[in-house]
Structure 1
Amino acid sequence: MFRKAVLSTVASLAAIFVVAGSAFAVQFVNITTASTKGTYYPVGVAMAKIWNDNIPDFKAGVQTSGGTVHNIQLMETNEADVAFMDGVSYPAFMGTGSYEGNPKKFIRAMVPLFPEVVQLIVAKDSGINSFDDFKGKKISIGAVASGTEVMARQLLSAAGIDPDKDISPERLSIADTAKAFADKRIDGAVFVGSLGVPGVVEMTTLGLVRFIDVPEEHLKKVLADLPAWTAFQIPSGTYPNQNNPVQGYASWNMLTVRDDVPEDLVYEMTKLLYDNKGDLVMVADKMKLMDPKNLDQVVLPLHPGAKRYYDEIGASK
């Protein structure tokens, strides 16, 4: 885990190092992602390499985390400058829902990435055929301080299921969820992630799980409270052994940045990601969807440095 050096000011992100008797300023940026079994972490590593290779006197470090909620916490305490986030970032910024009265106004959008989908996964022999069958079962609702946990609790509550009383909640990362299915320790999971996440591919390839739809009546109810989300159908064949489309819902996840990261630096970082998009696609095929045309999916305000880049190419919101 990379940690910040002593900063001359938070806004400058400048650490002072002494090499061969002479001092020079290095801009240090910490990127927080999610678990290693998801998409955020390997893409974050690739982004750090692009920036480290192309920005003089610059060092980006990458760390794992519990996901969006944890990333917001790390950004708030100045332990993260750049973070991957899903739709939970919107109520956090606005100070609504679980963030009521405590808005996180330091979050700024940098780059729209790809859809983040709520998916219901159950063990093949669980006997779960509908959402109502979750009652009394052991259900993974996401790692502690993750966006998945927030979304799982909201969806379960919308369906009239108390996540602390009507099910046995297991607060597991996607990696631990896959292991729990393999060990037959859980019956189902609410998962929030991009399509084709390695952990879910692993489960479906081994034939451990199947998908069920988010019921229409629950979908309408939960989406009424989520301006950043929309209905989304997972196409058949997205995963091994998935022969039918599956109804879920999704938001566009984003690369975000603290509002106090210097404008010139964010401009350069944004430009370099698009200039080197091919390197990111090699790591995760879904990065083909990283495109300025998807700015209309961004519900957070853009960082001025990112906005300058999009203005320059004629793609601003």
Structure 2
Amino acid sequence: MKRLVSWILALSCLVLMAGQGFAATRFLSIGTGPVGGTYYPVGATMAKIWTDRVPDLKATAQSTGGTRNNIQLMGKGEAEVIFADGLYYDAYNGRGHYKDNPQTFLRALVPLYPEAVHILIAKGSKIRTLQDLKGKRVSVGAVGGSVSLTANQVFRAVGINPAKDITLFNLGHAESVQAFSNRQIDAAFTVGAIGIASVVEPTTLGLVDFLDVPDGVVQRLVAETPYYAPLTIPAGSYKGQDKPVKTFSSPNILAVDKKLDAALAYRLTKELFAHKPELVAVSARMSALSPEGVAAIRIPLHVGARRYFEEIGVLPRKK
């Protein structure tokens, strides 16, 4: 009988230990962007890096509408890590779309790369200036993304009322390409790294040309939005693009909730820089990933991430 009792106790301990091991697994959801953009494939690679190298962690990338949608998901506890363009600054500080509703849970984890604002127009259209978009059919990005906010800023800067003067389409990257192919839209705004698939595809197919953003408009936008910067897309960046394109850019980051465990945030940050070549293999834009980029981040760093940047000497240690 004693032997039976001992066997039962031992079995119970094994079951309990197995249950504890299962419970110790941490699940991490990464909010990225629409399929066809840069965020999603890079996010999937980050998920693999973290899952393979951080003990007891299972990370997954989810396709989303982009930055605005990602911030919503994090606010609802449905994403622990998100890709975010410069809209993160407005969100944290309660500006613009987030007026009187600051998203103070946001913390920066890692600086990524600048994203260019691409304004595409249908090949053969008579659109020559931003003002010519008036009365046209324009895609302004997926529902929940921040592309529509950027597009609206551009419209206002040139005196266009998007609610009255534009037929708006909320199309993601892949859907905009298809709409150009079917002649359903006249123009589209796309925000992403130079070389983004949703611009490579329609230029390769000969469906679109580019529209410049004049210097005066860029200066106006930069003056009202601290995280914008002038940018020129070099000639030859896309097939058929034989001259430079004047536009502006918005930097992006990985962001996390301030409640994320500090030790985990430190490890996530460290592993990304340690395995940068895997990210560059997915997108050449990730070659811009650099610890020194942390100086340009405009919201507080997560304490765990800050520990990493202090450790490697990029930031001074707090006393």
- Sort the TM-score into its range (normalised by shorter chain): over 0.9
Same amino acid, percent of matched pairs: 44
SS in 2 for 1:93: helix
Distance in 2 of aligned mates of 1:21 and 1:259:
31
Aligned pairs for 1:1-317 (under 5 A) are 22-24=19-21, 25-316=24-315
Superposed displacement of residue 313, structure 1: 0.4
Distance in 2 of aligned mates of 1:142 and 1:160:
21
For residues 204-262 of structure 1, the C-alpha deviation after alignment (integer angstroms, 9 at most, x for no partner) is 00111011111222222222110011111111111111111111111211111111100
Distance in 2 of aligned mates of 1:42 and 1:34:
9
Over aligned residue pairs, what C-alpha RMSD do you find? Answer: 1.3
- Change beyond 3 A, Cα 1:19–1:274: farther
For residues 19-66 of structure 1, the C-alpha deviation after alignment (integer angstroms, 9 at most, x for no partner) is 985322111111010011001011111001111111111111211100
Distance in 2 of aligned mates of 1:279 and 1:19:
38
Superposed displacement of residue 294, structure 1: 1.4
Superposed displacement of residue 121, structure 1: 0.8
SS in 2 for 1:314: coil
For this pair of structures, how many residues does the alignment match?
300
Superposed displacement of residue 120, structure 1: 1.2
Distance in 2 of aligned mates of 1:131 and 1:213:
8
Superposed displacement of residue 119, structure 1: 1.6
Distance in 2 of aligned mates of 1:195 and 1:59:
31
SS in 1 for 2:25: strand
Unaligned ranges ≥5, structure 1: 1-17
Distance in 1 of aligned mates of 2:93 and 2:18:
48
SS in 2 for 1:249: strand
Q: Which amino acid in the other structure matches residue 288 of structure 2? A: L
Q: Which amino acid in the other structure matches residue 50 of structure 1? A: I
SS in 1 for 2:162: coil
For residues 244-299 of structure 1, the C-alpha deviation after alignment (integer angstroms, 9 at most, x for no partner) is 11111112111111111000000011000000111111111111100012122211
Superposed displacement of residue 99, structure 1: 0.6
SS in 2 for 1:165: helix
Distance in 1 of aligned mates of 2:94 and 2:109:
20
Match of 1:14 in 2: none
Distance in 1 of aligned mates of 2:270 and 2:145:
29
Contact residue 35 and residue 173 of structure 2 kept, 8 A: no
How high is the TM-score relative to the length of structure 1? Answer: 0.92
Q: Which amino acid in the other structure matches residue 73 of structure 1? A: Q
Distance in 2 of aligned mates of 1:31 and 1:19:
31
Q: Which amino acid in the other structure matches residue 171 of structure 2? A: L
How high is the TM-score relative to the length of structure 2? Answer: 0.91
Distance in 2 of aligned mates of 1:230 and 1:285:
21
Unaligned ranges ≥5, structure 2: 1-14
- Change beyond 3 A, Cα 1:19–1:79: farther
SS in 2 for 1:102: coil
